[in-house]
Amino acid sequence: MLQSTGLTNSDSSAAKTATPSTPKVSVPCGCGPSASQAAVPKNIQERIAKHPCYSEDAHHHYARLHVAVAPACNIQCNYCNRKYDCANESRPGVVSEVLTPEEAAHKALVIAGKIPQMTVLGIAGPGDPLANPKHTFRTFELVAEQAPDIKLCLSSNGLMLTEYIDKIKELKIDHVTLTINMIDPKIGEKIYPWVRYNRKRYKGIEGVRILHEKQMEALDALREADILCKVNSVMIPGVNDQHLAEVNEVIRSKGAFLHNIMPLISAPEHGTHFGLTGQRGPSPKELKAVQDSCSGNMKMMRHCRQCRADAVGLLGEDRSQEFTKDKFLEMTPEYDLAARQEVHEGIEKFTAEVKAAQAAKIAKTVKKGPKILLAVATKGNRLVNQHFGHAKEFQIFEVDGADVKFVAHRKVDHYCQTGYGEKATLEHIIETIADCKGVLASKIGLCPQEELRKAGLEPFEAYDVIDKVALDFYEQFTQSNESMGVL
């Protein structure tokens, strides 16, 4: 195995101080700003710095909370079953508890105390927030009054956005997501069977035309209001996959800040039209190809986890079961602005130090080479800090000796289920990350090490900042491959 020169599990104090709960930092090296992040103007960087969806850097450290206060919807998408989470912003799964605005605000204040790195309150379903305007805006009002440092975030299909733009401005909602899957109603006809507008249901292309016009007006209204707009597009192979480049052009020209092309989730058991008619979702490779084809035009989001409408925590984790209604209603809110700010300052100090250290290292040792992909087991905080067997997803980084760039995440079943590794699970993990050259984890058992190596994936144990470990790996990997004449 290539040898980690970073901290080991038993000698990991520097990396452990990088966690938000202990803000003191001493880090040997770290991460530089990604190219896309550096290209963002400073005033916008400040607006997105603590938003885990709008900033890839932020998603390693900051968390979001979704409150499910919006059950109704005003359109029908063929990838949605009303009994399930909104597939625009959630993976399918029943939202067992729709909340009142008062319950939702209580939950937000409880979680703001317990998870101080929770910086964003999002309303993303389970239906469309703007088809439930009373509950949506009341929730935002209550939270804004009592927790002014929490950013408010809204996700909608856009049909009713222009009707509520003044309210959105008044509440200072600075981040709005629109789900736009088409700009051609003929393609939209294959996605939306009906649209309900002004108390009337419009079927087929008539409804889709209304939706399209309203979505375009919504983009204009958000640009004019200087609200940061992210567009989500669900990629549906054979329906809109070839069309998404045109969608990308149009949303960019209308001022959208970020484009999130996400894969269709479709299975018969979800009971959706697409699920029942066998419409498949894209493979990770197909998704990446479309994302890459659009990335020259604008900033692309690649770290979306298609989270539940009641999700809690960092994007890669789901702590919703810790805060079910019966539990959070028993908890007393301990929102403390000063304590939250202290934690955020710790995170900012940590990220500034690792960026400075990275810049210094690059200035001294930069030696760009061929790009390789690495799979990283992480529990967050931009650290290699998880056992291989415990990982439920791997973050994929592209490394070229100078830059370490997050490019994707891949969900897996964790290998170590009951204290023992599952052979079939390991095979599936290997298949999922087969395009990588190495696997970085805090610990990797001897058996998976052997299997990984057989599949051409070099295992690498470390407990440290991802960027440092990735560059260490790259250096050793290229040296050993150069000496063998492979690179």
Which residues contact ligand CLF by CB under 6 A? 53, 64, 66, 89, 120, 122, 124, 153, 155, 175, 177, 230, 260, 304-307, 315
If one asks whether residue 87 binds ligand SF4 (CB under 6 A), the answer comes out as: yes
- Residue 88 binds to ligand SF4 (criterion: CB under 6 A): yes
Query: Which CB, 209 or 223, lies closer to ligand CLF?
Result: 223
Q: Which does 358 bind (CB under 5 to 8 A by kind): ligand SF4, ligand CLF, none?
A: none
In the complex, minimum distance from the CB of residue 306 to ligand SF4, in angstroms, rounded to a whole number? 11
Q: Does residue 127 bind ligand SF4 (CB under 6 A)?
A: yes
Q: Which is nearer to ligand SF4, 98 or 404 (CB)?
A: 98
What minimum distance in Å lies between the beta carbon of 76 and ligand SF4? 5
Residues in the chain: 487
Using the minimum distance from each CB to ligand SF4, give the nearer residue, 117 or 157.
Answer: 157
Q: Which is nearer to ligand CLF, 12 or 119 (CB)?
A: 119
What the block records as the tokens of 371 is 């790009």
d(CA 259, CA 252): 9
Q: Which two tokens stand for residue 278?
A: 């066998």
Taking CB atoms within 8 Å and a gap of at least 24, the contacts of 186-191 are 187/239, 187/240, 187/243, 188/212, 190/78, 190/236, 190/239, 190/240, 191/77, 191/78, 191/79, 191/236, 191/239, 191/240
- Helix ranges, 401-445 (H): 423-432
Q: Which does 66 bind (CB under 5 to 8 A by kind): ligand CLF, ligand SF4, none?
A: ligand CLF
Which of 4, 157, 232, 266 is close enough to bind ligand SF4 by CB under 6 A? Answer: 157
Question: Which of 86/152 has CB closer to ligand SF4?
Answer: 86
Q: Which stretch binds ligand SF4 (CB under 6 A): 56-64, 86-94, 326-334, 452-460?
A: 86-94
For ligand SF4, the closer of residues 12 and 156 by Cβ is: 156
Q: Which of 18, 86, 115, 376 binds ligand SF4 (CB under 6 A)?
A: 86
Q: How far is CA 438 from the centre of its chain?
A: 23
Q: Examine residue 73 and tell whether it contacts ligand SF4 (CB under 6 A).
A: yes
Residue 450: CB atoms within 10 A of its CB come to 11
The least distance separating ligand CLF from the CB of residue 262, rounded to whole angstroms, comes to 7
Which amino acid belongs to residue 478?
T
Among 12, 55, 76, 395, binds ligand SF4 (CB under 6 A): 76
Residue 93 Cβ vs ligand CLF, minimum distance, rounded to whole Å:
13
Q: Are strands 151-156 and 118-123 parallel, antiparallel or unpaired?
A: parallel
Task: Judge whether 256 and 219 are in contact, CB under 8 Å.
Answer: yes
CA 450 vs CA 284, 376, 390, 444, 460: distances in Å: 25, 17, 18, 10, 12
Q: Which residue's CB is nearer to ligand SF4, number 67 or number 465? A: 67
As measured in angstroms, the least distance from the Cβ of 270 to ligand SF4 is 11
Give the pair of three-digit tokens for residue 315: 């994007």
Q: Which is nearer to ligand CLF, 309 or 471 (CB)?
A: 309
Question: What is the nearest approach in angstroms of ligand CLF to the Cβ of residue 155?
Answer: 4
**What's the rounded Cα separation, in Å, for the pair 386 and 14?**
16
120 binds, among ligand SF4, ligand CLF, none (CB under 5 to 8 A by kind): ligand CLF
Q: How many CA atoms lie within 13 A of 286 on its CB side?
A: 16
Q: Which residues contact 244 (CB under 8 A, 6 or more apart)?
A: 233, 235, 261, 290, 294
> How many Å apart are CA 120 and CA 142, to the nearest integer?
14
152 vs 163: CA distance, rounded Å: 19
Decide whether 300 or 307 has the Cβ nearer to ligand CLF. Answer: 307
Cis amide linkage into residue 268, ω under 30° from 0:
no
Q: Could you tell which of ligand SF4, ligand CLF, none binds residue 87, using a CB distance below 5 to 8 A set by kind? A: ligand SF4
261 sits near ligand SF4 (criterion: CB under 6 A):
no
Helix residue ranges per DSSP H, 386-422: none
What is the DSSP annotation of 293-306? HHTTTS-B------
Instruction: Output 122 or 448, the one with its CB closest to ligand SF4.
Output: 122
Q: What residues contact residue 96 under an 8 Å CB cut-off, 6+ apart?
A: 324
The piece of 75-83, 169-177, 338-346, 450-458 that touches ligand SF4 (CB under 6 A) is 75-83
Instruction: Judge whether 51 and 59 are in contact, CB under 8 Å.
Output: no
Task: Identify whether the C-beta of residue 354 lies closer than 8 Å to the C-beta of residue 29.
Answer: yes
Selected from 27, 77, 180, 440, the binder of ligand SF4 by CB under 6 A is: 77
304 binds, among ligand CLF, ligand SF4, none (CB under 5 to 8 A by kind): ligand CLF
Which residue has the closest beta carbon to ligand SF4?
80
- Where do contacts with ligand SF4 occur on this chain (CB under 6 A)? 73, 75-77, 80, 86-88, 125, 127-128, 157
